[in-house]
Amino acid sequence: MTQATNGAVEHGKQIVVLDRGFVYVGEVKTDGQWCTISGARCVRRWGTKKGLGELAASGPLENTVLDPAGTVQAPMRAVIALLKCEAEKWTEH
């Protein structure tokens, strides 16, 4: 995690849980008002037996379904959770 001079924080590869059931994975940057997910993919199907923590640690599994979403911007009030991903497990996907 690194903080930019403009107050934004770069979190690296994260799974982002938003209100209303939306789940994305990508490179995350936050500031006081916005969560920006670059190279975002919507996690349509987790494909895990142990939840999102397993997905963050192991990367996409055989039954995981990810849909390209481009860049997603969500207000910080919509962010429920950030789960840090093991980035090397996501490099091929």
Question: Does position 4 have pLDDT exceeding 80, yes or no?
Answer: no
pLDDT of residue 42: 98
Domains in the chain, CATH or no CATH each: 2-86 (2.30.30.100)
Q: What is the pLDDT of residues 27-54, one digit of tens each?
A: 999 998 999 999 999 999 999 999 999 9
Provide the token pair at 32. Answer: 């006081």
Collapsing DSSP to helix, strand or coil, 29 comes out as strand
pLDDT of residue 75: 98
pLDDT of residue 81: 98
Q: What would the mean pLDDT of 11-22 be, rounded to a whole number?
A: 97
Under a CB-based contact definition with an 8 Å cutoff, are residues 37 and 16 in contact?
yes
Candidates 31, 90, 19, 32; CA nearest to 56 is 90
pLDDT of residue 41: 97
pLDDT of residue 3: 64
Under a CB-based contact definition with an 8 Å cutoff, are residues 25 and 41 in contact?
yes
Mean pLDDT score across all residues of the chain: 93
